[in-house]
Amino acid sequence: MNKSELIKTLAEKNDIHVDEAALVVNTFFDSIKDSLIKEERVEIRGFGSFKLKDYGGYTGRNPKTGEVVQVSPKKLPFFRPGKELKEYVNK
């Protein structure tokens, strides 16, 4: 499923207009994005939590060419599935 299918399904299940469903879905993901960009933690009960992790830079090598490359430090979100989601996919 992709985002537009998510919006369509939400609209059908709740008997609302797709525009309203799109507002819900877009605001949901935008809120999570904004918080992570501000380096805040995100916790969605029943689904999971996100936390930004800092990765230090390092000197790496391009495995194909053997060329030395500098990998700069980066921030990446780490997702931990919640208990309910873990149990749900295994049911």
Asked if 18 touches another protein (CB under 8 A), the answer is no
Do the Cβ atoms of 44 and 68 come closer than 8 Å? Answer: no
Choice from 57, 60, 83, 86 touching another protein (CB under 8 A): 86
Q: Which long-range contacts (CB under 8 A, 24 or more apart) does 17-21 make?
A: none
Rounded to the nearest whole angstrom, what is the least distance from the CB of residue 82 to another protein in the complex?
9
Instruction: Quote the least distance from Cβ 74 to another protein, whole Å.
Output: 5
- Among 18, 29, 61, 83, the residue binding another protein under the rule CB under 8 A is 29
Is residue 83 close enough to count as binding another protein by CB under 8 A? no
Distance CA(6)–CA(26), nearest Å, equals 11
Cβ nearer to another protein, comparing 66 with 78: 78
CB crowding 56-78: b at 16 or more within 10 Å, else e: eeeeeeeeeeeeeeeeeeeeeee
47 binds another protein (CB under 8 A): yes
